[in-house]
Structure 1
Amino acid sequence: MKTLKLIPIFLAVASVSALAKNNMLYGDVQVTNVAPTNDFIWERANQNTPKYPIELARSGIKGCAVLSFNISESGNTENIEIVNSVPKKDLGKYSRKMLQQWKWVPAKTDTEGVAEKRTVRLDFCMGGESTEQSQSACKQQAQLACS
């Protein structure tokens, strides 16, 4: 008798986990320059959309982070400061890690060797039934305050 009771419970757990594996999560990270200008000295070497950190996606964490940093004379990201982050712990930490990996190239040929101070906002968005829907949600979120 006890064996019969365990079988239905096992099947129920197995079917729930199988359903969870079939669900697709779509995420997007939008990069916005705070105080944009046409006179930037540096631009990101890789203009592709940053990848959503898998740890955040698994936890369902979304939100925004504003970071201030320096771009050195050689194009490295330095002195990253988290200005604001919602939720504070996770997005700030992952945003800083993401920025540390960014490499920069001169925006104009005559500006190499000059340092620059920058502030960017990273919006982490998840949801929707496609990548396009998550990107659209991210553009809308970027219009809201990050506080």
Structure 2
Amino acid sequence: MKNLLALTAFALMSVSISSVAKNIYADVQVTDVKPTSDFIWKRANQNTPKYPIELARSGIKGCAVLSFNISKSGKTENVEIINSVPKKYVGKYSRKMLRKWKWVPASTVAESAPEKRTLRLDFCMGGESTEQSQIACKQQAQLACG
């Protein structure tokens, strides 16, 4: 009987929690500010960057423009926030994210040399699917970041 009561209580809690919880769809769009086909370096991991959990929990979305160097060994260095909206949060998490990125030569013919780059990161949330958040992010990336 005791087990049955515990199981019933657990089932009721599960129903009430799942009826309140909703899915949050988010996307991060990475855009080269000065696109060119002759970059020396490309990101080692071409997957969409993960939306920072701290931003998602707070419902924060926005954009950041960052300038940085890629060293001769493919390491991200000297990350500078050029602009960020909202200023405090998105810039901070963008810098943190970018510092972890590894870079590989864009072609086998390219010689490993340092490179200065400027990227824009757009953090978007909303919609009823991942596809809808990706579309919203592509639209947001067309707007000024600032």
TM interval, shorter chain, is: 0.7 to 0.9
Q: C-alpha displacement at 1:109, in angstroms?
A: 1.5
Q: Which residue of 1 aligns with 2:47?
A: 48
Unaligned runs of 5+ in 2: 1-12
AA at the equivalent of 1:95: S
% of aligned pairs identical? 77
SS of residue matched to 1:111: coil
Q: Summarize deviations over 1:35-59 as a string: whole Å, max 9, x none.
A: 1001100000000000000000000
Q: C-alpha displacement at 1:113, in angstroms?
A: 2.3
Say whether 1:139 aligns with 2:138: yes
Q: Which residue of 2 aligns with 1:32?
A: 31
Q: Which residue of 2 aligns with 1:104?
A: 103
AA at the equivalent of 1:119: T
Q: Which stretch of the first structure deviates more once superposed, 102-111 or 126-135? A: 102-111
**Distance in 2, Cα, partners of 1:32 & 1:113:** 22
Change (3 A) 1:20 1:58: farther
Q: Which residue of 2 aligns with 1:84?
A: 83
Q: C-alpha displacement at 1:19, in angstroms?
A: 6.2
**Distance in 1, Cα, partners of 2:22 & 2:106:** 41
Unaligned runs of 5+ in 1: 1-13
AA at the equivalent of 1:120: L
Whether the aligned pair in 1 keeps the contact of 2:70 and 2:115 (CA below 8 Å) is: yes
TM-score normalised over the length of structure 1: 0.86
SS of residue matched to 2:96: helix
Whether the aligned pair in 2 keeps the contact of 1:73 and 1:112 (CA below 8 Å) is: no
**Distance in 2, Cα, partners of 1:82 & 1:114:** 23
AA at the equivalent of 1:23: K
